[in-house]
Structure 1
Amino acid sequence: MNKKTLIYIFTLLMMSIRPLDAQSLPADSLTVKSSPYLLLDRGLQYRVTKSINSMYNFDFKTAEHDFAVLSYQYPDHPLPDFLMALSYWWRIEVDVTNEKYDDIFLAYIDRANEKAEKMYDEGEDNKEAAFFLAAGYGFQGRLLSERKSWTKAAWAGKNALKYMEKSRGEEEFNPELLLGDALFNYFSEWIPENYPLLKPVMALFPKGDKELGLQQLEQVAENAFYTRIEAMYFLFRLYASEEKKPYEALRISEYLHGKFPDNPYFHRSYARHLYTVGRWTESMEQSKQILDRIDAKQEGYEANSGRYAAFYLAQYNDRIGDQAQAKRYYLKTLSYGEESESQESGYYLFSLVELGKIAMDENNKPLAKEYFKKVKKYAKRKHPAHQAARDFIKKNKL
């Protein structure tokens, strides 16, 4: 079982808290309603919306100040620590290869889990505690699988699944819990389709339904409070890669970038989906903005996002026949790729291929040969870039 498959499996178990626009709440939800669970307190939901939205817009200073106030008000509740963990998760999400924030993220998750476990032990069938434990262990499993800590990740995933089941039965939690059902329905069918060797393993689980999973994700995106943006995040990724519905992916990423304009992950996704559907000018504008923000050292904008943006700009200039600018941005793609240690990524490899072709046009055969040698060094033999390099070398007798 490879890394990608395991990440998908642990993703099934992942749940998270997400914001809802205050203006889109039903009018009666703005009134504080009594609830046995803090998580379902409508007044609190309304109060924390701005703070959580600040987090997703990468204004961590504002968000974490507010989460610290929550921690003072509710010192024994897992919610404040869980929100603090999420603020570090989003720092990780921008570039999952960067391990800088792992320790502090896991520390907050551990604290949230400890408080939730205490609540669970003290309260008979405490659905809220189970909800937080499912979320905490789910996030833990996802990060640990990224770090190839398979045994620890499996343990976390098993706990997430256990507490997800225990959190069922509270009607008000249903829109949030539907996210887990949606992901399970989709990926439990997707995994055996794409990894036939796992069919015997997946046969031990209930039968999934990809179409139903997508419908459920749409329901969560429309109706949930906490998991709304999470559902939208998965929807645009699935529409872009698995479902081949680029305009649906663009629709969602455009909304997310508009709502959270300083979130670099949503920003680069928006630029990517514009590029995919052929809206070149708009993609170029967004990509230039991303590079400007990297140069300005804006929070969250780094080499990984730069690799995307520089490649789109290079491709655009290639298409309009500006080889000098295309070369400039392909070189930037290489620089960002090396900085983020992403030499095996498609953007890096195809930039090498295009730079090799440009070098040939400039009658610099030795340099072209160096570029194609790098392609063969970093790309697997079956990768299209490797094939392109072999074909070019053969044709031009390099």
Structure 2
Amino acid sequence: MKIRIIGYIYFFMLILGCNRLQAQPQQPINLSSDSEYLLLDKGLQYRITKAINSMYNFDFPTAERDFLVIMYQYPDHPLPDFLMALGYWWRIEVDVTNTRYDNIFVQYLERANKKAEKMFDANPKNKEAAFFLAAGYGFMGRLYSERKSWTKATFAGKNALKYMELSRGEEEFNPELLLGDALFNYFSVWIPENYPLLRPVMALFPKGNKELGIQQLETVASNAFYTRVEAQYFLFRLYASMENRPYDALRISEYLHQKFPNNPYFHRSYARHLYSVGRWSDSVRESYEILDRIDQKQAGYEANSGRYAAFYVAEYNFRSGNKAVAKQYYQKTVAYGEESESQESGYYLHALIQLGKIESQAGNKAKAKAYFNQVKKYAKRKHPAHKEARDFIKKNKL
């Protein structure tokens, strides 16, 4: 999480760093029940719920069939194209190093943006059009920040900020729009606390409030329709990696896994949080299920998830004294790490260290040294794994 936050920092500052946090709220527009805004159509929300749930559950064919029906019914509206793009975003999210979905993701966002721009040009007061433009450019910025395409991220961020401001003033949009405020409130405090070099930059922005940010995320997670799951996603990541609230992270990831049992990202997060609170046997059960789904080539289950799952199984068996089984799954962790090109990840490096120790105890010094040298190859010198490998080689005269 903290490594990926580096990429988001720049983007968050572009999109969310505005003075609206200090401004008085605008007066909401009262809409009649026959509002022109499709986004607020309760009947459509009822009809689209199954499709959105299918998308988050990685049943993309079902979701996309329903999105195409909406596209047929509303050919000039950005909503169906945006939802199609969101489905591809979740394909990317499972393994953000994989770029094979980037182009189609951006193409759907561009289509949604063009339709929203036509709506906005026809009526500059159309807050729904502004909402979709803010969301479309916002997701583009998230992708470009992952790819370190800073010029494109800058363009996307500035546009997202502009349209986010223009979409304000509609009371029923507030739960959806609150996600941006929540993330700014949290990260504008967290970033300077954890990255002192960025404090002068952060001093240029309004002062945030981490506690308020979390409260706002909880509100979005409970009350929004289109951004609810996204808020829950951010919440459990913050609770797990930044707030030291592992049981709250487990609570949310357990709910998401139960609601979307075929979402590999939620599945591996649930296994991880079970492990972090000491429910190791439950974590191993889920990990075996993840590995089995990879073997069955279930949609979305791939090497990145396998690296997590194999590691939890290996650690459990190592601590239980089952060194032969532990060795097998540490080797799987390494294999999955290499397949997903995650050689600098903590799980990959720790698996190598454990394999080195196992081989050393078995008297296989040459194999042990090879594993530790591999750690030194991929870990930065200041990384704890690099130091542990150096120390072990020296102490054991490998």
Same-fold call, TM cutoff 0.5? yes
Question: Deviation of residue 6 (structure 1)?
Answer: 3.5
- Cα distance in 2 for residues equivalent to 1:9 and 1:147: 12
Q: Does 1:248 align with 2:248?
A: yes
Query: Does structure 2 retain, via aligned residues, the 8 Å contact 1:134–1:163?
Result: yes
How far did residue 8 of structure 1 move?
Answer: 3.5
Q: Does structure 1 residue 287 correspond to structure 2 residue 277?
A: no
Conserved in 2, the CA contact under 8 Å of 1:14 and 1:142?
no
The residue identity in structure 2 corresponding to 1:146 is E
> What is the distance in 1 between the residues matched to 2:102 and 2:341?
18
Q: CA offsets, 1:11-47, max 9 Å, x none?
A: 57789xxxxxxxxxxxxxxxx9422200000000010
Q: TM-score, normalised on structure 2?
A: 0.93
- Aligned mates of 1:343, 1:6 — CA distance in 2: 19
Q: How far apart, CA to CA, are the structure 2 residues paired with 1:195 and 1:177?
A: 27
- Whole-angstrom CA distance in 2 between matches of 1:204 and 1:162: 18
- Give the aligned partner of residue 343 of structure 2: 343
Q: d(CA) in 2 for partners of 1:261 and 1:339?
A: 25
Aligned pairs for 1:157-306 (under 5 A) are 157-306=157-306
Following superposition, the deviation at residue 383 of structure 1 comes to 1.0
Q: Distance in 1 between matches of 2:310 and 2:340?
A: 14
CA displacement, residues 82-103 of structure 1 (integer Å, 9 cap, x when unaligned): 0010111110000000000000
Q: 1:107 to 1:115 in 2, by over 3 A?
A: same
Task: Provide the rounded CA distance (Å) in 2 between the counterparts of 1:337 and 1:275.
Answer: 19
Q: 1:61 to 1:11 in 2, by over 3 A?
A: farther
Instruction: Tell me the TM-score normalised to structure 1 length.
Output: 0.93
- Structure 2 unaligned runs (5+)? 17-31
* Deviation for aligned residue 1:10: 2.4
Residue 54 of structure 1 pairs with residue 60 of structure 2: no
The reply to whether residue 328 of structure 1 matches residue 361 of structure 2 is: no
Q: CA deviation at 1:138?
A: 0.5
The CA deviation at 1:160 is 0.6
Q: Which runs of 5+ in 1 are unaligned?
A: 16-31
Contact 1:356 1:368 in 2 (8 A): yes
Residue 88 (structure 1) aligned with residue 68 (structure 2): no
Partner of 1:5: 6
Match of 1:24 in 2: none
Superposed CA RMSD in Å reads 1.5
SS of structure 1 residue aligned to 2:58: coil
Report the 3-state secondary structure (helix = DSSP H, G, I; strand = E; otherwise coil) of the residue aligned with 1:124: coil
Written as runs of structure 1 = structure 2, the 5 A alignment for 1:363-382 is 363-382=363-382
Query: 1: CA distance between counterparts of 2:239 and 2:347?
Result: 21
Q: Distance in 2 between matches of 1:376 and 1:248?
A: 36
Closer, same or farther: CA 12–174 of 1 in aligned 2, 3 Å = farther
| Runs of 4+, deviation exceeding 2 Å | 2-6, 8-15
Structure 1 residue 79, shift from structure 2 partner: 0.3
Between stretches 382-391 and 231-240, larger displacement belongs to: 382-391
Q: Structure 1 131/105 Cα, relative in aligned 2: closer, same or farther at 3 Å?
A: same
CA distance in 2, matches of 1:34, 1:53: 26
| CA positional deviation for 1:202 | 1.4
The 2-side partners of 1:215 and 1:171 are apart by: 19
Question: Take 2:363 and 2:93, find their aligned partners in 1: how far apart are those partners?
Answer: 42
2: CA distance between counterparts of 1:139 and 1:174?
19
Contact 1:131 1:167 in 2 (8 A): yes
Following TM superposition, by how much is the alpha carbon of 1:299 offset from its aligned partner in structure 2, in angstroms? 0.2
User: Matched residue pairs, number?
Assistant: 381
For 2:341, what is the secondary structure of its paired residue?
coil
Give the share of equivalent positions with the same residue, in percent. 75
Matched AA of 1:41: D
Residue 115 (structure 1) shift: 0.6
Residue 381 of structure 1 aligns to a residue in which SS?
Answer: coil
Query: For 1:339-397, what per-residue CA distance to the aligned partner results, in whole angstroms no more than 9, with x for missing partners?
Result: 00000000000000000000011110000000000000000111111111111111101
The answer to whether structure 1 residue 133 and structure 2 residue 147 are counterparts is no
After TM superposition, give the deviation of residue 191 of structure 1 in Å.
1.1
**1:175 Cα deviation from its structure 2 partner:** 1.0
In structure 1, distance between residues paired with 2:214 and 2:122: 37
Q: Distance in 2 between matches of 1:194 and 1:135?
A: 28
| CA pair 14-157 structure 1, distance change in 2 beyond 3 A | closer
Q: Is contact 1:33–1:42 with CA below 8 Å preserved after alignment?
A: no
**2-structure distance, mates of 1:387, 1:7:** 29
Matches of 2:7 and 2:341 in 1, distance apart? 22
Displacement of 1:222 in angstroms is 1.5
1:229 CA displacement: 1.2
